[in-house]
Chain A
Amino acid sequence: MRITPDNRAPASSPVLVVEHLSASVAGQQVVEDVSFTVPATGITAVLGRNGVGKTSTLKGLMGLYRRSGAVTLAGERIDALPTHKVVQRGVGYVPEDREVFARLTVAENLRLAERAGSATPERRELVKRLFPDLVQRRHQMAGTLSGGQQQMVALARVLLNDNRVLLVDEPTKGLAPLIVEQVAEALREASVTVPILLVEQNLEVVRHLAGEAVVIAGGRVVHTGSATELLSDESLTRRLLGVHTDTDREVHP
């Protein structure tokens, strides 16, 4: 069964509130003034053309880039915390390009990710069930895995822990269609228990997964609302994202 916006529980208070976030790297401002909220359930997509600052927004939230503004996680301000404390508060991060440790085995990558008192046997079971490949390849160096398998390691690292929210950056980038489906399915299953903020270029994946959408342009939020409504409005989609959607093609075959 797919979770669609229609059968999703109504959002209670948001898990993550971002107010006037700006971020800079090497003295250059990469996020100007971004405000949005992440509902306590489901998947919220962050959309926008290439280079508008989606990845930088996530890195700013994680404290990987120098940031200012207010970020509130379940009522607690986390914008002054160093990255490792942000994570310890329950923010799981899946970076763009996976960033697995190439010279560590799969098992070591996963062991490293397990946080004390957070990783439970049930979560290990979930990861084994979602990614049986990783169990087989546990002694393999992560650098020798395919892109799809590395993505599974990256997702497993956050699913092993009890997180309040997951920030997932382009998990399907560069993957074969079959693997994209598997990754999307893992995200959908994960989203049943933990809200996800998802940066994703593959609009088909967004359409299947996301309830809410936040569109960024020029370092600012230019649109928020239902993902389905946004993606079914072809002129809005074209204007905000600069792409033709499938609906487009159906209308003009």
Chain B
Amino acid sequence: MSTVVLLLATGLGLGALYFLVASGLSLIYGLMHVLNFAHGSFLTLGAFLGWAAAQRLDATSWTGFVASILVGALVGAVVAALTELLLIRPLYERHIEQVLVTVGLSLATVALFEGIWGTDPDFIRGPAWMDRTTGVLGARIPNDRFVIIGIAVLVLVAIVVFLRKTRYGMVIRAGVENRAMVTALGIDVRRSFTLVFAIGGAAAGLGGVLAAHYFGYVSPSLGGSLLIFAFIVTVIGGLGSLTGAAIASVLVALLQQFANYYAGGTGDFVIVLALAGVLLVRPSGLLGKAA
């Protein structure tokens, strides 16, 4: 029983990280039809600069932790918005070129990060409470899992409220459905492109800080390793569906954890099988629009 509870908590924590990456990927694809391969770089940079901010204040204090979260989110948002403005926008409507430029950016930034911070993982610390565990139904759950899950849920709620209650959110929802018709109402839909990049970048940057706590280190490859699973989550959930991304994040992470434990470390393999299965049965994903 305690093993199952521990696997559930770890899986939900990992799912929370997947969601923070996948939410942006899904929104960006839904609105702009761009698969953003540079999304992992937003995460990595958020993690590094967030960690730098925490160290500067006091990495073991809550102030340092909160500052690292804010810095991570801000860095992610700014870098993502700049990426959209400087690299994606000039290639308007040229989807293949847009994807290629994000692939190039991801390769170049990983090399850049390795140049700055080296290739070795940089082990990090947080507030002492986060390093301890709490007993839940006989399992010792690392406290950072609760923080990660809690923050991801807050991000999900914040994005949903933004999409439902604000005019920009309405423009984004309408644009995901039918971008041409949004422009035919006199709305400059390109402004919302920058906005979804910024929102997705903020979630990814914040996710980078949390991922560093989850794994215990930051490294230039942090983003890339999460990005692959986030892509799988996005496809399984249905490209463009935020709810789909949230559900698929949890399913994929739990499946991965349980398969790793009970089926001899086959978690990644099982996820790829699940992806193939979903694509065969529901090609548009769990909650995606029918193609």
Bound-state Cα–Cα, A103 to B170, Å: 10
| A95, A111, A112 interface centre (most CB from chain B within 10 Å) | A112
| B window 163-183: CB within 8 A of A | 167, 170-171, 173-174, 177-178, 180-183
Judge whether A133 is part of the interface by a CB distance below 8 angstroms: no
Docked-complex contact A87 and B170, CB < 8 angstroms = no
Judge whether B189 is part of the interface by a CB distance below 8 angstroms: yes
Known contacts A108-B170, A111-B170, A112-B171: A101-B181 contact under CB 8 Å:
yes
Q: With both chains docked as a complex, state the minimum distance between the C-beta of B22 and any C-beta of chain A, in angstroms.
A: 20
Docked-complex contact A104 and B174, CB < 8 angstroms = yes
Docked-complex contact A82 and B183, CB < 8 angstroms = yes
Bound-state Cα–Cα, A62 to B184, Å: 7
Docked-complex contact A112 and B183, CB < 8 angstroms = no
Partner of B185, one of A64, A82, A87, A102: A87
Bound-state Cα–Cα, A84 to B188, Å: 6
Known contacts A64-B184, A84-B189, A115-B186: A99-B173 contact under CB 8 Å:
no
Docked-complex contact B184 and A112, CB < 8 angstroms = no
Docked-complex contact A103 and B173, CB < 8 angstroms = yes
Which chain A residue shows the least CB distance to B181?
A99
Judge whether A247 is part of the interface by a CB distance below 8 angstroms: no
Query: Which B residues are in CB contact (< 8 Å) with A113?
Result: 185
Which chain B residue shows the least CB distance to A93?
B184
Judge whether A144 is part of the interface by a CB distance below 8 angstroms: no
Known contacts A82-B183, A83-B183: A102-B177 contact under CB 8 Å:
yes
Q: With both chains docked as a complex, state the minimum distance between the C-beta of B286 and any C-beta of chain A, in angstroms.
A: 16
Interface size class of B (residues with CB under 8 A): 10 to 19
Q: With both chains docked as a complex, state the minimum distance between the C-beta of A165 and any C-beta of chain B, in angstroms.
A: 14
Q: With both chains docked as a complex, state the minimum distance between the C-beta of A71 and any C-beta of chain B, in angstroms.
A: 15
Query: Which B residues are in CB contact (< 8 Å) with A64?
Result: 180, 183-184
Bound-state Cα–Cα, A82 to B177, Å: 20
Judge whether B187 is part of the interface by a CB distance below 8 angstroms: yes
Which chain B residue shows the least CB distance to A89?
B186
Q: With both chains docked as a complex, state the minimum distance between the C-beta of B139 and any C-beta of chain A, in angstroms.
A: 40
Docked-complex contact A101 and B183, CB < 8 angstroms = no
Q: With both chains docked as a complex, state the minimum distance between the C-beta of A45 and any C-beta of chain B, in angstroms.
A: 21
Query: Which A residues are in CB contact (< 8 Å) with B173?
Result: 101, 103-104
Q: With both chains docked as a complex, state the minimum distance between the C-beta of A180 and any C-beta of chain B, in angstroms.
A: 23
* Residue-wise interface mask of A (106-145) relative to B, using a CB-CB cutoff of 8 A (1 in contact, 0 not): 0010011101000000000000000000000000000000
Docked-complex contact B186 and A95, CB < 8 angstroms = no
Which chain A residue shows the least CB distance to B186?
A87
Bound-state Cα–Cα, A137 to B18, Å: 38
Query: Which B residues are in CB contact (< 8 Å) with A193?
Result: none
| B window 208-231: CB within 8 A of A | none
Judge whether A202 is part of the interface by a CB distance below 8 angstroms: no
Q: With both chains docked as a complex, state the minimum distance between the C-beta of B32 and any C-beta of chain A, in angstroms.
A: 16
Query: Which A residues are in CB contact (< 8 Å) with B187?
Result: 84, 112
Bound-state Cα–Cα, A102 to B180, Å: 14
Bound-state Cα–Cα, A101 to B188, Å: 17
Judge whether A232 is part of the interface by a CB distance below 8 angstroms: no
Docked-complex contact A104 and B181, CB < 8 angstroms = no
Docked-complex contact B177 and A83, CB < 8 angstroms = no
Bound-state Cα–Cα, A83 to B184, Å: 6
Known contacts A104-B173, A111-B170: A99-B178 contact under CB 8 Å:
yes
Bound-state Cα–Cα, A88 to B183, Å: 10
Partner of A84, one of B167, B170, B177, B183: B183
Partner of A101, one of B167, B178, B186: B178
Docked-complex contact A101 and B180, CB < 8 angstroms = no
Judge whether A188 is part of the interface by a CB distance below 8 angstroms: no
Docked-complex contact A101 and B177, CB < 8 angstroms = yes
Bound-state Cα–Cα, A161 to B178, Å: 21
Query: Which B residues are in CB contact (< 8 Å) with A111?
Result: 167, 170
Judge whether A67 is part of the interface by a CB distance below 8 angstroms: no
Bound-state Cα–Cα, A180 to B189, Å: 33
| A window 57-87: CB within 8 A of B | 62, 64, 82-84, 87
- The 9 closest A-B CB pairs, nearest first, are A87-B186, A83-B183, A101-B174, A84-B183, A99-B181, A88-B186, A93-B184, A84-B188, A113-B185
Task: Jot down 10 A-B pairs with beta carbons below 8 A, ordered by A.
Answer: A62-B184, A82-B188, A83-B183, A84-B189, A95-B181, A99-B184, A101-B173, A104-B174, A112-B170, A115-B186
Q: Which residues of B contact A (CB under 8 A)?
A: 167, 170-171, 173-174, 177-178, 180-189
Known: A64-B183, A87-B184, A115-B185. 11 other contacts (CB 8 A): A83-B180, A84-B189, A87-B183, A87-B185, A95-B181, A99-B178, A99-B184, A103-B173, A104-B174, A108-B174, A111-B170
